[in-house]
Amino acid sequence: REVTAQLNAETTLFIISSKTFGTLETLKNAQAARSWYLAKGGTEEKLYRHFIAVTSNRQAAVEFGIREKNIFPMWDWVGGRYSLWSAIGLPIALAIGMANFKDLLSGAYDMDQHFLNAPFEHNLPVLLAMLGVWYHNFWGAQTYAFLPYDHYLRNFVKHLQQMDMESNGKSVRQDGTPVSCTTGPVIWGGVGCNGQHAYHQLLHQGTPLIPADFIVPVVSHNPVADHHEWLYANCLSQSQALMQGKTRAEAEAELRAKGLSAGEIERLAPHKVIPGNRPSNTLVLEIINPHRLGALVALYEHKIFVQGVIWGINSFDQWGVELGKELGKNVYNRLTSYEAEPAEDSSTQGLIDHFR
């Protein structure tokens, strides 16, 4: 609503991206967009000029009012989290230009070929996957942090969260038997230079073991004085601190050099000890551009697949997501109907009653 308040209906094109053309959130927004267009003087006859669809369900798109020739098809077996390379990437292509989108695809293809052909001991997705399994299953690491040191990658972790946790958050193997080990670590993180003043404390001195991937470019798109040198230095110093830590003797020597008394040194030194030996990877890119970004995304796609194979799970379904969608319809009916059956549990019913 805030976006359309700034738009001119005559010059606005809506792209409805939905594999099934049945996802509730997408359809509700699509219906709101169509209502807005019609309210601004648009007509059903001219609807085709302002709405196109990316979907595998052509019939549903046509019934919505989109012309057949305005539908970009996609395969029904492509999961949403792996679909940016398909026609779902149309908004990306419009935003960055088709040449850049082809570079994105080219970078992903290069990583595909590397994954397909490189021996395991030099295969980046395999190495990252095995490190993840090692720390998760053998050292008890329940979460994994991703720390990109570049503002242009500020949303990268959000993409990884869906890609990894929706793929490998499973407790049943492909053959239907329960898994015998833990799967699917919690994925989190954010831009490193911000995290240094927030959750990096937990990485350095917290009790949980949290492996981390640092991602940093050598060249900045916006060089300002020596800012990027400091950014790069911060990235390396954080990974170095995780690795080396600080001993009690080093902490005491540091405090002694500052002229503190023996009592103060005894009091403060334990708090300044950093265990070290915390694992991390550092991925260095020349510069953040479409080709390298494509390779980076594909790298983690293949890593997730490898881990799914090792755990024996299906990385390409998401039945847990489906249950929430089904129950949502029941809750909605109970919120809006005057003679609805009570909810299956008293907790949900209490929340429904509060809303009503």
Q: State the catalytic residue, choosing from 2, 45, 69, 197.
A: 197
Residue with tokens 């909605």: 332
Tokens of 226: 């020596």
Pick from 64, 53, 51: nearest CA to 90: 53
Pick from 159, 165, 120: nearest CA to 308: 165
Query: What is the arrangement of strands in the sheet containing 186-189, beginning at the earlier edge strand?
Result: 186-189, 143-148, 212-217, 280-285
CA quadruple 170, 88, 112, 294: dihedral positive or negative?
Answer: negative
266 is catalytic: no
Judged by DSSP in three states, 66 sits in coil
Q: State the catalytic residue, choosing from 158, 325, 329, 344.
A: 325
What residue type is 112 in one-letter code? D
Which secondary structure element, helix H or strand E, spans residue 240, and what is its range? helix 227-244
Judged by DSSP in three states, 268 sits in helix
Rg (CA), the chain: 25
Which secondary structure element, helix H or strand E, spans residue 160, and what is its range? helix 156-168
69 is catalytic: no
Residue with tokens 């060089």: 223
Judged by DSSP in three states, 140 sits in coil
Q: State the catalytic residue, choosing from 50, 136, 166, 204.
A: 166
Angle ∠(91,294,84) on CA atoms, nearest 5: 35
Angle ∠(341,346,349) on CA atoms, nearest 5: 50
Q: Residue 148 forms beta bridges with which residues?
A: 215
325 is catalytic: yes
Which secondary structure element, helix H or strand E, spans residue 299, and what is its range? helix 290-311
Catalytic residues: 166, 197, 325
